[in-house]
Amino acid sequence: MTKALIEDLEWRGLIAQSTDREALLKDLEAGPISFYIGFDPTAPSLHVGNLVVLLVMRRFQLAGHKPLPLVGGATGLVGDPSGRNEERSLNSDEIVAEWVSRIRLQLERFLTFQGENAAILVNNLDWTKNVTAIEFLRDIGKHFSVNQMLTKDSVSSRLEGGGISYTEFSYQVLQSFDYLELYRRYNCILQLGGSDQWGNITAGLDLIRRAASGSAHALTIPLLQKADGTKFGKTAGGSVWLDPVMTSPYAFYQYWIGTDDADVERFLKTFSFKSREELEILFTELKENPGARSAHRALAQELTTLVHGETECRNAEAAAKALFGQGEISELDPQTLASALSQLPRTTIVRGDVIPTWVDLLTATGVVDSKSAARRIVKEGGAYLNNVKISGEEFTPTQSDLIHGRFLLLRKGKRELAAVEIIEK
């Protein structure tokens, strides 16, 4: 079972680096092990980048191993220098504590907390807060060589630039302390993490060897990149969050539907829990009939259901179809419709004001740069209101056209959409 897990991870491209592979396999095969991944509360929510390593943790649990998802209540107060060129802004204790609570709830969605290999949520503030500075320096700091710390990529890259504070320089010591404590408390012998965490993780292995005369393992997951070189998990509006308030289920679904063809196969391997055989069928369909976008839909459906549940996934799919005339837009619930329209170019009208013509409205959304261009669309038969074709340049929507008394959907041709919202004074 464990060997099959490692082979599957390799096929999916989910192993970047590991310590002694044979020794790791031997320990995994010997019986269920405890392992951990750390998530620092640097925002109120996890994002899809975190989902890469989180779902590897889920795969290990499904293979019978015991996850220890760690929320960094202590390390979140310090800041990880990895992948950054400048110091993080430090947040207050109260903000970090609130974010820890929110992230804990998100982690519970992806792991099982019952049964023989039930996950245990841990917070590194629990074992860090009562340790004095003198104790930390004497008991932990003495095991670290500054010369070795300076060679870590996360530190050396900063030294070549504007420098690094002692606070962030100390991060790897704190993270190593976490691994040592989890080794002592739960016999945790494997830490997973992104490939940018390799230096921090191996520092933890050294600390376990020096302070506890023990041995453990490290395995990192590649940082996901888009084929075009742009950053994964980013849109024009910012990060794609797992929190439904910060990124709506509709926007989340659309992010995956909009995946570039060049990335779909890799993203399915990374995130999907479908079997290799099921995925190979999707890959074949992608190559033979890319226009059908069956692989894109499979990716969007699986991840939206995993993160937001079946109901929200169905709502997102219904909204996507309705916006393009494949469903009745008025049947969408107001919240789903508002979320879908919020992603479009838009304009607003104060309630009680006169509603302008379709031409004026489309121009106001910025979809076209002039009224003459909007009139041309009407003449060419490409103008729609709420998915109904309009034929006159002077056509003006009425109150009865407002969906839920609040929205209008404008469409230019087959694919270009815009929204109008009635707002209160």
Left (φ > 0), alpha (ψ -120 to 50) or beta: where does 293 sit?
A: left
Number of C-beta neighbours around residue 417 at 10 A: 21
Give the DSSP H or E segment for 87.
none
pLDDT in tens, 298-353: 999 999 999 999 999 999 999 888 887 787 888 888 888 888 888 888 899 988 88
**C-alpha span between 45 and 48 (Å, rounded):** 10
Residue 224 · residue 20 · CB < 8 Å:
no
| Topology given in CATH for the domain delimited by 224-331 | Tyrosyl-Transfer RNA Synthetase (1.10.240)
Q: What distance separates the 2 farthest-apart alpha carbons in the chain?
A: 82
Among residues 285, 336, 329, 286, which one has the least CA distance to residue 314? 336
Is the pTM higher than 0.85? yes
Q: Take residue 128 and report the two structure tokens written for it.
A: 């860090």
Among residues 253, 423, 236, which one has the least CA distance to residue 336? 253
Domain 344-425's class?
alpha beta
In 65-197, which residue ranges form alpha helices assigned H by DSSP?
93-107, 125-128, 133-139, 146-151, 153-159, 166-169, 171-186
Q: What is the pLDDT of residue 280?
A: 96
pLDDT in tens, 188-228: 999 999 998 898 899 999 999 999 999 999 999 999 988 88
**C-alpha span between 320 and 329 (Å, rounded):** 10
Q: What is the pLDDT of residue 236?
A: 66
Q: Take residue 280 and report the two structure tokens written for it.
A: 């190979």
pLDDT in tens, 126-161: 999 999 999 999 999 899 888 887 877 777 777 776
Q: Any idea where the domains of the chain sit in the sequence?
A: 2-221, 224-331, 344-425
Q: Which residues contact 296 (CB under 8 A, 6 or more apart)?
A: 256, 257, 258, 259, 264
Domain 2-221's class?
alpha beta
| Sign of the dihedral through C-alpha 223, 228, 231, 232 | negative
Per-residue pLDDT band at 110 (split at 50, 70, 90): very high
Mean pLDDT (whole number) for 364-392: 90
**C-alpha span between 380 and 372 (Å, rounded):** 12
Residue 174 · residue 78 · CB < 8 Å:
yes
Q: What is the pLDDT of residue 325?
A: 75
**C-alpha span between 70 and 276 (Å, rounded):** 30
- Per cent of the chain over pLDDT 90 is 59
What is residue 218's three-state secondary structure?
strand
Residue 57 · residue 30 · CB < 8 Å:
no
Indicate the residue type of 109. Answer: R
Per-residue pLDDT band at 82 (split at 50, 70, 90): low
